[in-house]
Amino acid sequence: MAENTFERVKKIIVEHLDVDPAEVTLEASVKDDLGADSLDVVDLIMQFEDEFGLEISDEEAEKISTVGDIVSYIEQKQQ
């Protein structure tokens, strides 16, 4: 399950931010390492919402920093 969520998240990030898949690790910071700006983050959040069928509030979105944060947030929501 964990890998599955990570792979799906990774695919969206690679596609959207046009980054090398190798750079998208659990530790990578979406903004600092992968170069997303604030609107990229909003756009990514929307795509995660669509992909995983959940809603990520603005407040929760603000706490997200790394790819790992996203994966664990989604998995926690899905339980």
Partner 1 sequence: MKSVGILGTGAYLPEKVVTNKDLEKLVDTNDEWIVTRTGIRERRVAAPDEATSDLAVKAAQRALEHAGISAEQIDLIIVATVTPDMFFPATACLVQDRLGASKAATFDLSAACTGFLYGVSTAAQFIATGVYKYALVIGVDCLSRILDWTDRSTCILFGDGAGAVVLGPVEEGYGFRSYELRGDGSGGDLLKVPAGGSRMPATEETVKQRLHSVVMEGREVFKFAVRVLSTATEEALKKAGLTKENIDFLIPHQANIRIIEAAVKRFGLDENKVIVNLDRYGNMSSASIPVALNEAVEQGRLKKGDTIVLCGFGAGLTWGATVLKWSLE
CB of 73 to partner 1, least distance (A): 17
By CB under 8 A, is residue 43 in contact with partner 1?
yes
Contact in structure between 38 and 14 (CB atoms under 8 Å): no
Instruction: Out of 39, 53, 63, 76, point to the residue binding partner 1 (CB under 8 A).
Output: 39
Contact in structure between 18 and 40 (CB atoms under 8 Å): no
By CB under 8 A, is residue 46 in contact with partner 1?
yes
Measured distance CA(63)–CA(76) in Å, rounded = 14
Chain positions 48 to 67 lying near partner 1, rule: CB under 8 A, are 58, 61
The yes-or-no answer on residue 37 being catalytic is: yes
Instruction: Out of 22, 27, 38, 63, point to the residue binding partner 1 (CB under 8 A).
Output: 38
Contact in structure between 53 and 5 (CB atoms under 8 Å): no
